[in-house]
Structures are given as structure tokens and as C-alpha cells.
Amino acid sequence: MSLQINTPYAPIEKINWVGLAEKEIELYIKREDLSHPFISGNKWRKLKFHLLHAETQEKNLLVTFGGAYSNHLLATAAAGAKYGFQTFGFVRGEKVENLVLKMCAVFGMQLAFVSRENYQQKDALFTSHFGSNPHALFIPEGGAGDLGELGVAELLAEKYFQENFTDIICSVGTGSTLRGLLMGIQTQQLNCKAHGIVVLKGAEKMEELFQDYPSSAYALHHQFHGGGYAKANKDLIAFIHYFASQTGILLDQVYEGKMMLGILALIEQDYFKPKSKILAFHNGGIIGLTGIL
Ligand SMILES: *Cc1c(COP(=O)(O)O)cnc(C)c1O
């Protein structure tokens, strides 16, 4: 048996937005959100090598971690079902019900709610529940780590990146997607800068995560968290509605709405030079929108 994981459909589209032409900026969006309805975007990319690793290690149970609205838990549940693995998710905090967790259960994931305190001790949780099961595989929260970054990096080997975007941008939660993009830029020797729109408040220490890359290779933008992680103010919600009505593209309120608002603000402030060709990564997360509409 050999696991066959095909590259998903995730086209690049041009965004026609008022004011871009006047600034001589071209803005494109990589529709990673279209790759799968429930294994969307970077979560698919970050899981790919974990799944291949699971197969070579003869694991049949994927054990992972996430919050109650975790796109990663849902992605793992759906990917597990698709590729023939059982799945188990530790959920942070007291028991709640929502559409994300219900969909996890539909895909056969077993869920266990754990206190915020215990949630911090992920190795201990894994060992106490699965220490005696040689077929259980620990997958870090968010699909992070070297295997996750490799899956993101691989994306930049696709041929259209050779036509040179000057800047590529993603939202930043744990930062592993941005690290993957940086790895891809380096291995493919692309001549472009990576930007991260940080969605957490007070995450200035995040810079330390990227110290192994030259500081000219990337920029972290900390001014667009909009009040903090998963906080969605009226302006953001109004923007998400307006953007959808103008482009047909839905953005979630936790990550990509903030990213797009940030990109348009940076363009407005002349942060990017005229003739810049910018590519934004849309990593999905749309099911979380159901929590606020
Ligand atoms: C998980 C996620 C992110 C954040 O990715 P990190 O690698 O944790 O920085 C961004 N957008 C969406 C839609 C996500 O689900």
C-alpha cells in the first residue's frame, strides 16, 4: 500500500479592487481555500507529510490538538477519513458544541475535552492515553513542525511562482505557514519577500521564530490583529461582507479577513513600491464564519 496524495486544485486569481491600478499594484490571491471543503488551505499542506510519515511508520491513528474552532482538527478528521486513518482530537477547554466539532465527529474523529491547564502538557496527554499504542502518531497542534513546513514549502515549486511575485503574504497564527513559505523561497531561489499579517495581539516575540532567516527576507506586520485572536469588530465584519460582494470570495474573520484588510491598508499607505506584484494566500477557515453570521 502506498498513500497517493494529489496536489489540490488551488488556482491564482487576480483581485480587481478600486485604487490598485492608480497605485500601480497588482494583487493576486492563491485560492488554497478551494483545495478541499474541510481540509482547507495550509492545513492540507501542513498535514501532507505528516500523513506520509504516518504511513511509513505504520501508524493508523492520528492524534492531535486544537481549540474548539480549530481548522486543524477538522482538517485532520477529514483527511484521516479520506486517507484511511482513525483520528483522535484533544480539544482545549470545557465541553462545547459547534459546527466545527460536529463536522469532526461526522468524519469519525473521537474528541476529548481537556482543561486549559492539561492542554498545555501535550506530550503527557498523548502518553497517558496512547503511550501503549504503537500505531498512534502524535501530530503537533496546527500540523506544525518540520513536516508541516515542508508541505507549505513544496507549494512554491509549482511553476507559476517563477514568474516572480515581488511579495507573498499570509496570515500568521503559529507562524509555521510563513516559515514554510520562507523555506520555499529559499529552496526555489525566488526573488520575493514574504510578509506575515499577525492575527494575535502582543505577539512581538514572534520575531524570534524567524531568526534563522535573514531579516530582509520577511516582514511581520503586527498592526492588524484588530483587538486580538478571534476578536472580530464591526469594521472587520463589514469588510468581509463588502469583499465577498465585490469579489465573490469569502474570507474568515480569524485569519484571512484581517490579512486582506491589512494588505489593502499597506497598499493604501504606499508600503509597497509601484509595480509590485503581490500574492496573498487564502488558507480557508470558512466554516468558522458560521460562528458569527
Ligand atoms: C491555521 C490557519 C492560519 C494560520 O497558520 P499558521 O501556520 O498557524 O500561522 C491561517 N489561516 C487559516 C484559515 C488557518 O486555518
For the stretch 192-228, pLDDT in tens is: 999 999 999 999 999 999 999 999 999 999 999 999 9
For residue 85, how far is its CA from the centre of ligand 1 (angstroms)?
Answer: 23
Among protein residues, the one with the nearest Cα to ligand 1's atom 3 is 173
Residues 59 and 194 in one domain: no
Residues 78 and 216 in one domain: no
- Mutational pocket test of ligand 1: of 42, 155, 287, the residue with most ligand atoms within 8 Å of the beta carbon: 42
Domain residues for the domain of 265 are 12-40+150-291
- Mutational pocket test of ligand 1: of 255, 260, 263, 287, the residue with most ligand atoms within 8 Å of the beta carbon: 255
Residues 172 and 263 in one domain: yes
For the stretch 164-176, pLDDT in tens is: 899 999 999 999 9
Q: What is the pLDDT of residue 162?
A: 81
For the chain, how many structural domains are there in total? Answer: 2
Residues 46 and 101 in one domain: yes
For residue 1, how far is its CA from the centre of ligand 1 (angstroms)?
Answer: 31
Residue ending a domain, choose from 87, 113, 143: 143
For residue 276, how far is its CA from the centre of ligand 1 (angstroms)?
Answer: 25
Among protein residues, the one with the nearest Cα to ligand 1's atom 4 is 173
For the stretch 82-141, pLDDT in tens is: 999 999 999 999 999 999 999 999 999 999 999 999 999 999 999 999 999 999 999 999
Task: Provide the pLDDT confidence category of residue 1 given band limits of 50, 70 and 90.
Answer: low
Residues 121 and 240 in one domain: no
What's the mean per-residue pLDDT of the chain? 96
pTM: 0.96
Give strand pairing partners of 219: 195
Residues 169 and 279 in one domain: yes
For residue 230, how far is its CA from the centre of ligand 1 (angstroms)?
Answer: 12
Domain CATH code at residue 204: 3.40.50.1100
Q: What is the pLDDT of residue 163?
A: 74
Helix (H, G, I), strand (E, B) or coil at 218: strand
* 182 within some domain: yes
Does 293 have pLDDT greater than 70?
Answer: no
Distance CA(92)–CA(117), nearest Å, equals 9
For residue 171, how far is its CA from the centre of ligand 1 (angstroms)?
Answer: 7
- Residues contacting ligand 1 via CB (< 6 Å): 41-43, 71, 142, 171-177, 252, 255-256, 283-285
For residue 120, how far is its CA from the centre of ligand 1 (angstroms)?
Answer: 19
Q: Name the H helices within 70-175.
A: 71-83, 99-106, 116-119, 122-130, 146-155
99-106 and 71-83 are packed helices; what angle lies between their axes, rounded to 10 degrees?
A: 10
Q: Are 255 and 41 in contact (CB under 8 A)?
A: no
Helix (H, G, I), strand (E, B) or coil at 190: coil
Q: What is the pLDDT of residue 98?
A: 93
State the Cα angle at 279 between 274 and 285, rounded to 5°.
140
What letter would DSSP give residue 158?
A: S
Q: What is the pLDDT of residue 56?
A: 97
**Of ligand 1's atoms, which has the minimum distance to the CA of residue 283?**
13
